Amino acid sequence: MASGILAFDELLAMAQEPERLEAYRQREVRSIIERAPYEIRRRLRGLQFQVDAHRRLHHDSPIGACIQLSKMMQDSFYKLHTYLTQTTREAASPLPEPKNTAARSPKYKAKVIPLPLKNQ
């Protein structure tokens, strides 16, 4: 069977044989991870490991597994949202004024002289 997304009717027929549907799912997951940029493949494999672990823990209840995976996604989204909000807030806030600027001024003073432009 070639890799690719199947039509709903094909998936429905395949669902009558859970082992066959699971083999298809695993093949597709591996295919997606292998097509991902090399730099993120390890992270994707780790994430898939977590997904598979939750599915195994709730093998008796597909709804229980779905709820756990949904919570996992919500937690991840919340962390991303928090990070982005914090980063945006930090980027938008002005830099604090330096304290005691007189103490930081140079000891030597220079006279700035104007230089004429070449075409004047």
For the stretch 16-73, pLDDT in tens is 999 999 999 999 999 999 999 999 999 999 999 999 998 989 878 889 889 999 999 9
Rounded Cα gap, residues 11 and 20, in angstroms: 10
Rounded Cα gap, residues 52 and 33, in angstroms: 14
Assigned token pair, 22: 């699971």
Rounded Cα gap, residues 10 and 5, in angstroms: 10
For the stretch 71-87, pLDDT in tens is 999 999 999 999 988 88
Q: Higher-confidence residue: 90 or 81?
A: 81
94 exposure class (CB count in 10 Å sphere: 0-12, 13-18, 19+): exposed
Q: What does the pLDDT read at residue 100?
A: 62
- 120 pLDDT band (50/70/90 cuts)? low
Any idea what DSSP says for residue 15? T
Q: What does the pLDDT read at residue 67?
A: 92
Q: Higher-confidence residue: 4 or 6?
A: 6
Q: What does the pLDDT read at residue 90?
A: 77
Q: What does the pLDDT read at residue 69?
A: 93
Please say if the pLDDT value at position 2 is more than 50. no
Nearest Cα neighbor of 28 from 16, 14, 62 is 14
pTM score above 0.85: no
CB 76 within 8 A of CB 58: no
> In the chain, where are the structural domains located?
8-92
Rounded Cα gap, residues 67 and 55, in angstroms: 10
